[in-house]
Amino acid sequence: MKIETYDIPGIMLIIPRHIGDERGYFSETFRADFFGGHVGDYTFVQENESLSAQVGTIRGLHFQIQPHAQGKLVRCTSGAVFDVAVDIRHGSPTYGHWISELLTPENGKQLWMPPGFAHGFCSLEPDSVIAYKVACSYYDLECDKGLAWDDPAIGIRWPDVADTQTLSTKDQQQPLLTDLPAYFSWSN
């Protein structure tokens, strides 16, 4: 496995190795010892899967607050997604900054975002599936929060296929970054 970092501290890209031949490939997608040694000591408690049937489906930006904040290790198992993480840690030098990655089964990339980041994605192919391991805490409705996917202060450059008609009612009503309480604080 290989790890790449970004200008936003905490977010990491994990790229498992594909061992292939004419039949296909094998890939070790997760090892607790590797993850703990390179990323941090997190306990994964839940695994989720999301299917977006239509190209351009927008989901997010989502996160959970304390006492049930979550970290996420996201990968695409079918299709392709434009995956996004936004720093929402007050006081962070990269507060409100975002990164994106193209996740596909072929490239095998996995995006890690610890608590303190909002997550969202846009499907680029029909029947795109993401699977993500959730660290730290189980889903909790009361702690489930979000951020406007199209906040101009953040300025995410979504793919041209992004279709606002696919937004859930919840995602149509998420607050702007300027209206977001200080749910997370930066600590270096």
Query: Which positions are annotated as active-site residues?
Result: 62, 132
pLDDT tens readout for residues 120-133: 999 999 999 999 99
pLDDT tens readout for residues 93-128: 999 999 999 999 999 999 999 999 999 999 999 999
Backbone angles phi, psi at 85, to 5 degrees: -130, 135
Q: Counting Cβ atoms within 10 Å, is residue 67 exposed (0-12), middle (13-18) or buried (19+)?
A: exposed
Domains of the chain from N-terminus onward: 43-175 (2.60.120.10)
pTM of the predicted structure, to 2 decimals: 0.93
Residue 21's pLDDT is 86
